[in-house]
Amino acid sequence: MRTIVARGYSRLAQGKPFALLAIEICVRWACGLPRPIAQSYKAKLMRLSSLAMLLWASIALSRAQSNLTIAAAADLRPAFTELKPLFEKSAGVKLVFVFGSSGLLAKQAAEAAPFDTLFSANEALVAALEKSGKLVAGSRTLYGVGRLAIVARKGVRLPKSVQDLAKSAVGRIAIANPAHAPYGAAAKEALQHSKQWDQLAKRLVLGENVQQTLQYVDTGNVDVAMVALSLVIRAGRPFTLVPEKLHAPIRQAAGVLVQSRQPDVAKRFIRFVVGPEGRKVMSAYGFTLPKPRK
Using CA atoms, how far residue 69 sits from 65, 118, 119, 209, in Å, is: 10, 9, 11, 20
Q: Say how many CA atoms lie within 13 Å of 250 toward its Cβ.
A: 33
Using CA atoms, how far residue 112 sits from 35, 105, 118, 135, 252, in Å, is: 45, 11, 12, 11, 21
Give the chain's radius of gyration (CA, Å).
Answer: 27
What whole-number distance in Å separates Cα of residue 39 and Cα of residue 267?
53
Q: What's phi and psi for 204, nearest 5 deg?
A: -85, 140
What was the pLDDT predicted at 280? Answer: 95
268 pLDDT higher than 80: yes
Phi-psi region of 66 (alpha: psi -120 to 50; beta: other; left: phi over 0): alpha
What whole-number distance in Å separates Cα of residue 75 and Cα of residue 99?
8
32 pLDDT higher than 90: no
Supply the DSSP symbol for 176.
E
What whole-number distance in Å separates Cα of residue 3 and Cα of residue 219?
63
Confidence of residue 166 (pLDDT cuts 50, 70, 90): confident
Contact 217, 174 (CB under 8 A): yes
Using CA atoms, how far residue 121 sits from 74, 76, 99, 130, 147, in Å, is: 8, 9, 11, 15, 11
What was the pLDDT predicted at 1? Answer: 46
pLDDT tens digits, one per residue of 148-160: 999 999 999 999 9
| Residue among 250, 174, 274, 186 nearest 215 (CA) | 174
What was the pLDDT predicted at 290? Answer: 66
| Residue among 144, 238, 141, 243 nearest 187 (CA) | 243
Give me the helix-helix angle, 77-91 and 263-274, nearest 10°. Answer: 120
Q: What global pTM score does this model have?
A: 0.76
Q: Is 200 exposed, middle or buried (0-12, 13-18, 19+ CB in 10 A)?
A: middle
At 205, is the secondary structure helix, strand, or coil? strand
What whole-number distance in Å separates Cα of residue 287 and Cα of residue 195?
27
pLDDT tens digits, one per residue of 33-75: 454 444 454 455 555 555 444 444 443 444 445 799 999 999 9
